[in-house]
A and B are shown apart, each in its own frame.
Chain A
């Protein structure tokens, strides 16, 4: 399917009047996929999702169907499904739009996924700051209970499910899979050590699956149209890379930063960053050029202007030194912006959000912020650049020095900014100039 003939799937209903209501959703064929799924065996539902090649939309891109199969076969007692709606990666707002404009699409996906994973309770962990989402979801869930789409014996199938809507604890780390589980349990969101993985021992020490909101929104469509339809969009598997699982399906791209028309667009996976900026976001603002682009949320690092032809699928950003596709939140930085300021802002965010459990992340993120603060104050040294690189390469799960990936996310902006814009950093330090420009965004 080419881009021009692509019709939005996930955002297909958002312009409908009263798109949040159950009646409107049903009028558009809502909950048909659920009725279909409930007539299938739960393993068949898993197979459909597995065959579709759907990969998690939360950032890591782990195949969803495969994740579900990690649950133990014979379980005495409950299995839980946790929905990660703690969308807090800077630049990301796709979950918010999905929940605010079409909550039933997400909820239908949740019921189908719960059925597939044999979960009888689903916890919707929603970012606290998303007040409107909370109200919309609350209303939608009430409607579902009133219409036998939740509770006992859903649609006469004999399947029971309860959804609890849980408001988050206002921290970036709550979006980490196990941090979310700890927070849900009422504790400090300190990510857990693995193993055991959540599929074996997760929320309340029970087998648990944690899935992203956008992933859930994809599920009803896959059930309705089949895996082949889903695979007709996106980038197929790289035959030369046996570990590549392909990048199929529609994806929501959040575009923000120095563009004329920031917003959320839905496209098949694999559009290039340049195409996205020029044709879907009205180009870089004020007639300027893009200096750097964050491909998928701040923690993925930076691409240079020359790298903008990289396709934004699960593999593309990795080929140019970025951490990955992340949440597909594209942030554009124009050529008038100092990378020192941008990096300072990034480091400040991660230092503020580091949960403080592992030493390298707790101290490393704060230290790199202090160094950049000093550089911005005109007191930088050339050796600071290598020190920043050393700090960034010694924190994170990739060298193995932290429990969760927050530190990797903190390290990648530093690594990519310095490796790709080293000259600018050197020039900045040599000039001894002081940066008076305000930071790009608050650290909150």
Chain B
């Protein structure tokens, strides 16, 4: 640690910090466009110019004669940074005036308005009027730049963050700068659009409204969006994210910086893969098979069966509890619960403790773990080859579920081992409680056969499946955006996800279903449950803090176990 003075505020900073980071520690913002923690330093936007000096041994301060870029200038013991001198302010004003020269000032139709660094910095450091008397340059917008990305060329400030991202993080190098001087534009080579699996990140990286997500384009003004901290459930990397919603509709997911999880970015699979939560085919009402026959899936849009009254839940859950207890009493070892790797730790714990609480001879199993291909490592080499292990900057994992490790920890505690439901063999139990929550069709042939047609089948899921078709009871559950809980990623990092929207119609978040099913008093409270779990399951003792913070908590090493081969 070295002592640095920023505008007379003394702070301890890391000697590896640049002036921007050191100033940030002192609570001073040095405005910048081109610099980004994850990308190489180019020092080209010249927005971060500051005065830097050093303290001489006799205590006097010698300021440098010129302004220097804060992003490029390292600090050392006694460095003095001034961001409030008239020299710095004049330079900031001039730089902003220059950046806005050819900017169309079309904030009223710009998606970025409200979270735009040109707006913010101009408001804070710029001046109200431009002295440009001449016509602005106009350059054509480029909707072809990527499947998910549109470029509004006029708004670009040429910070080249996007170009550096595709070269340094994705390694795919589609984006580049063409032309020269004030005519410069970001572009792609003909027929090679920026469609790599991390391409969506360039939209977040763009400090202005130049690169926009086509998916989000003109959908919502950003100031209407409410942000919930959550975890991407697309794969076991468990990227920290923001879920941005308005009026119970999720508009976009954005990566949330978390050095412990994924860093700054997220993949497009996760970013745009949330659409299923608003799918019309979602299970929206709980269903009970009537005495006369099956509740049909077509009836799903209305309260089905004989439950035609307004709130079916107390009745259906009471009925479910009664039937589960009866089934377990009749044949305790013939009762199997399938826990999904999409469940949160709390939900898995609630179900496991409820079932095992009735009779320890019941069986808890793990549902199918979706694995697609192999881990996708970035940055890619020139021929698309994966990087050396030491150079990996981002990984899209093959394991497409968020919480296998967390559920396995619960299973190991209650069942002493992790049994895969698919390995149980044909019609192996008389009663089943199956939890889904997968984003796609997940019931494979093995599981389908293992379940068979038991005397009791309860399915808790978000989409209809072969199992829900023949289930005695279907409990319409919540998607990741509707639930609150803890997910343990591939590296044993436990992160808290917060609910951002309500489940559709009469569907309920899994935690609420399970609280009521287990007959536990009160509401589902993830914080309180975490404390209970931590004291019950030693493997998960690290989550005893309750509030896992923004970056999550690392579990003890032994949780981090590779996916066991399915027998």
Contact = CB atoms under 8 A, between A and B. Distances in A.
Contacts of B86: none
Interface residues of B, number: 35
B44 A403 contact: yes
28 contacts: A190-B44, A193-B42, A193-B69, A351-B181, A355-B180, A355-B181, A356-B158, A356-B182, A356-B184, A359-B99, A360-B46, A360-B95, A362-B158, A362-B182, A363-B98, A363-B101, A363-B102, A364-B98, A365-B181, A366-B181, A371-B133, A381-B133, A390-B94, A394-B91, A394-B94, A397-B66, A400-B68, A403-B44
A374 B134 contact: yes
Interface of B: 41-47, 49, 66-69, 72, 90-91, 94-95, 98-99, 101-102, 131-134, 137, 157-158, 177, 179-184
Smallest CB-CB A-B distances: 8 pairs: A400-B66, A366-B182, A363-B98, A400-B67, A356-B184, A354-B181, A370-B134, A357-B44
Nearest to A355: B180
A437 B44 CA distance: 37
Given A364-B98, A401-B46, 19 more contacts: A193-B41, A193-B42, A193-B69, A193-B72, A351-B182, A355-B181, A359-B46, A360-B95, A362-B98, A362-B158, A363-B182, A370-B134, A373-B134, A400-B49, A400-B68, A401-B49, A401-B91, A401-B94, A401-B95
A367 B177 contact: no
Query: On chain A, which size bracket covers the interface?
Result: 35 or more
A353 interface: yes
B157 A359 contact: yes
A165 interface: no
A359 B180 contact: no
Contacts of A360: 46, 94-95, 98
Interface string A342-382: 00000000011111111110111111001101100000010
Secondary structure class of chain B's binding surface, majority of residues: loop
B133 A359 contact: no
Interface of A: 171, 188, 190, 193, 351-360, 362-367, 370-371, 373-374, 381, 387, 390, 394, 397-403
B180 A352 contact: yes
Contacts, number: 98
A374 B133 contact: yes
A374 B133 CA distance: 9
A171 B102 CA distance: 24
Given A193-B72, A401-B91, A356 B132 contact: no
A367 B131 CA distance: 10
Contacts of B95: 359-360, 401
Nearest to B102: A363
Contact of B181 (A188, A356, A394): A356
Contacts of B44: 190, 357-359, 403
A359 B134 CA distance: 18
Nearest to B96: A359
A354 B180 contact: yes
- Count chain A CB atoms within 10 A of each CB in B43, B45, B133, B182 and give the residue with the most: B182
B137 to A, nearest CB: 8
Contacts of B158: 356-357, 359, 362
A196 B67 CA distance: 18
Contact of A359 (B41, B47, B68, B177): B47
A356 B91 CA distance: 18
A351 B182 CA distance: 8
Contacts of B101: 363, 366-367
B182 A354 contact: yes
- Count chain A CB atoms within 10 A of each CB in B46, B47, B95 and give the residue with the most: B46
Nearest to A383: B131
A367 B41 CA distance: 27
A366 B134 CA distance: 11
